[in-house]
Structure 1
């Protein structure tokens, strides 16, 4: 003998209210959950509901069980995995961010480089905090922090500093006197 699914406590929900709630859901999966409850309330069997909504029968029975235990809140609750533990603590992250923003690798004693790249940051993480990360992981971490990759600029060895300074002053004068077309 087959055991049929039943809504033991409807928490004041009617088929019409469930249908309206189903339409109001922005997430299609949550809409299917509400539709499963509505169809069971209308008298459909669990297997029929599963076939209609293209779900597994165990999913339908778990939705009914959640609804019976806690109502609509329990049905629509979605718990996400907490994720992997970060490699660096918040304090270490702040130190690394400040190091990248305020200094160069040469100033920090990590070679003679004038700019930060993933290879240098990987070395800093291993030396300073004994943390081993891939360069791709470091790139993702930097993007999460809001950093963007830019090509480093270089200085010309034979450049005349006096002419460069004059050019900078000329550009500043142009910015002040010309219409606001500068970005």
Structure 2
């Protein structure tokens, strides 16, 4: 019996150490549940204290028993399901591949940005996406995301031409 108490005390200390300085509220709540469980509190009481269901506490304890503290680490949330139909996604894909934003009524932009795609989806399908959601959608469709670069509107064309010549010379010498 004394060995079990020592193991339990070691586990309690391990959980407390993991909780110290933790900023992830979801993980902290899971660790609290395990701490209370290790201290002998019933599932119903733990669930009531933490504001969740007994089933949730049972799941936490089961994950802890199976994989230790690593079993409590929350996975990546899948996020909201895709709002566009397969046909709408195909239409969006074709649009990005075949047309420029100016071709469909946007200001004269050279390339599609996630913001422009978001606005086009809203205008065309009346579906609202977040910017992050659009970037995930574009990645799923096989596009890569890069941040735009800008050129100076008031740049001196002669200096730019000289720089291009120098750059080409340097590039040839490196080959």
> TM-score, normalising length from structure 2?
0.42
> TM-score, normalising length from structure 1?
0.41
Q: Which structure would you say has the larger Rg?
A: 1
Higher-helix-fraction structure: 2
User: Of the two structures, which has the highest relative contact order with CA contacts closer than 8 Å and spacing of 6 or more?
Assistant: 1
